[in-house]
Amino acid sequence: MALLVWVCSGLGWAAVVPLPPLENEHFLVLPDSRDIGHYLAELDQGVEQARLVPLGNSAGGRPVQAMLVSSSPAFLHRYRPEPDKATVLVLAAQHGNEPAGAEAVQRLIRELANGEHSALLERLNLVLVAMANPDGRDLSRRHNANDDNTNIDYVALSAGETRLLVDALQTFDPDLVYDAHESGIWKRVLTKQQGWLTDVEVQFEVGNNPNIDAGLREYTQRYLLPALVQRVTEAGVRAEPYRGEITHLGQIVARGGLGITNLRNYAALQGRVSVLVESRLDNKAGRYPTPRNIAERVRKQHLALLSLLQLAAEDSARLVAVSRQARSGWRGAGEDGRTLWMDVHFGPNAAQPEVWLPLVRLVDGHRQYHAFANHNAIITGEPVVLPPAYGVTRERERMARWLQRHHIRFETVRAPRVLAAERLQIDALLPQPRARPGVREKWRVKARAESARVTLGPGDLLVPTAQPLGPLAALMLDPRSANALYQEPAWRWLAPGPFPVFPVWLNGPGDEQ
């Protein structure tokens, strides 16, 4: 790449900034992570209002980096949040074989470096991760070099890349998190056997787990999601609320998953506005002006990202207020504001039993709407009032490492403590009634809570819920939760009998009554 020639304006921006590697190659050669890294490093050296920050290395030893773009030196160098600006974290290419998001991020950085979209930086501080999974980028596959699917690892945190991104949430403390993906239109059953392609252009989803702070969930569901769909559609790209993967004609459809193993709901349960985009990943066998239509795919991703940032800037005061209130004082949707729903799943929507979605016939390109059973009603069960703390009496050192990775505060018991508790007795484990395609099967836990006094011994853990991550911790620690840690393959603790993690009440010094 040619050396950059910087001509700085009064704002500190470069008057001439080179094209990203893909565009420099006329969209004919997809650059690898090293080429993209070199490009971002050049921008870091030449743009006063941009700073490249290392987050760590991937499983394959490739750097994972964030480009900070801001008009605030305090944010660029100390990551300090500002009362009148929203901090936005953008992640692209968590799946390495979905490259358009990474290219859209580079395009946006270049435009900002050229002085375009200057109004954004009056209201926003940007943290842009072009390649969340550089291994997958270079290996042309979904997973990292260890074959981890980091996209659904936000409970177990088994993969190093996921831990880096969780650390980034704490380091930069974003008010808004945006996760960019692409969705393939060719499906094994739908296309190969039934002869149809999906016809999605751009789909958006927001944090939808019913345990998200009520005010935050109201803001994203009622305002941000409809406004984003409308803005992108009006800009000429058909956008829709997320309906998931259409894999065969007879399936049910819902929304994006409710679980917190994905970034969208994990970040939202931390009190952050959270948005997912999935744009169209065109069929490999199609004929396009650029390989697999990459130029058009980048355009759609760029439009989606820019539209969200414009909405965030226009509504930054309300976005900041809603997000920071959620982080400082979670309030659930129940009347008491303290209830968590442990069992959450989708069910039939009685008010709208069917939804019509467009498909394209493979043989001739004919576009036609098909009816699908609509199961987007969110069903909640197993209400639990958020207890003051959870006690942990098994694999304490391993559990402590896991809590530290999530940045969840806990206490290690030094001397015996007698506490009021709800001992949880697991009576049965039941399989899921029906798993959706591509969704991991989980157990449904039937458990009883029995009031008791327990003695925690030295080395046991106490996890208080009076902390910003308290509700999230409860949903991962409580075995009754559909999102419990023990549903993960490496943490299979679920079995009939007394469970070693349970709610406790803290009574003050000594705790005995």
Q: How far apart are CA 152 and CA 261, in angstroms?
A: 5
Kindly state the percentage of the chain with pLDDT values over 90.
90
| DSSP H or E run through 65 | strand 63-69
For residues 345 and 210, what is the distance between their CA atoms, to the nearest angstrom? 10
Question: Over pLDDT 70: what percentage of the chain?
Answer: 94
- pLDDT of res. 104: 98
Categorize the per-residue pLDDT at 2 as very low, low, confident or very high, splitting at 50, 70 and 90. Answer: very low
Phi and psi torsions of 448, nearest 5°: -115, 145
| HEC string for 350-386 | CCCCEEEEEEEECCCCCEEEEEEEECCEEEEEEEEEC
Residue-level pLDDT at 506: 80
Per-residue pLDDT tens digits for 320-332: 999 999 999 999 9
- Of 1-10, 81-90, 210-219, 478-487, where does mean pLDDT reach its minimum? 1-10
Q: Please say if the pLDDT value at position 16 is more than 80.
A: no
Q: Kindly state the average pLDDT of the residues 425-450.
A: 79
pLDDT band at 285, cuts 50/70/90?
A: confident
At 20-51, the pLDDT tens digits run: 999 999 999 999 999 999 999 999 998 999 99
Rounded to an integer, what distance in angstroms lies between the CA atom of residue 297 and that of residue 368?
23
Give residue for tokens 């901090």.
87
Q: What's residue 103's pLDDT?
A: 98
Query: What is the mean pLDDT of the segment spanning 253-268?
Result: 96
For residue 4, pLDDT over 60 is answered with no
Dmax (CA) for the chain in angstroms is 77
For the chain, give me the number of helices (H) and strands (E)?
Answer: 14, 21
- Which tens digit of pLDDT belongs to each residue from 358-407? 999 999 999 999 999 999 999 999 999 999 999 999 999 999 999 999 99
Averaged pLDDT for residues 260-277: 98
pLDDT range class, residue 244, cuts 50, 70, 90? confident
Instruction: Read off the pLDDT of each residue in 403-418 and give the average, rounded to a whole number.
Output: 97
pLDDT higher at 80 or 165: 165
- Residue 365 backbone class (left: φ over 0; alpha: ψ -120 to 50; beta: rest): left
Q: What is the mean pLDDT of the chain?
A: 93
Say if residues 74 and 80 touch (Cβ distance below 8 Å).
yes
Cβ contacts of 483 within 8 Å, gap of 6 or more: 155, 209, 259, 260, 261, 475, 476
CB 272 within 8 A of CB 217: no
Q: Which of 34, 11, 263, 220 is nearest to 113 (CA)?
A: 11
Round to whole Å and give the CA distance between 137 and 80.
31
Asked whether residue 6 carries a pLDDT value surpassing 90, the answer given is: no
Kindly tell me if the per-residue pLDDT of 13 is higher than 60: no
CATH topology of domain 21-25+33-328: Aminopeptidase (3.40.630)
Domain chopping of the chain, boundaries? 21-25+33-328, 339-379, 388-505
pLDDT in tens, 206-243: 999 999 999 999 999 999 999 999 999 999 999 999 99
Residues 6+ apart with CB under 8 A from 82: 72, 74, 75, 125
Q: How confident is the model at residue 15 (pLDDT cuts 50, 70, 90)?
A: low
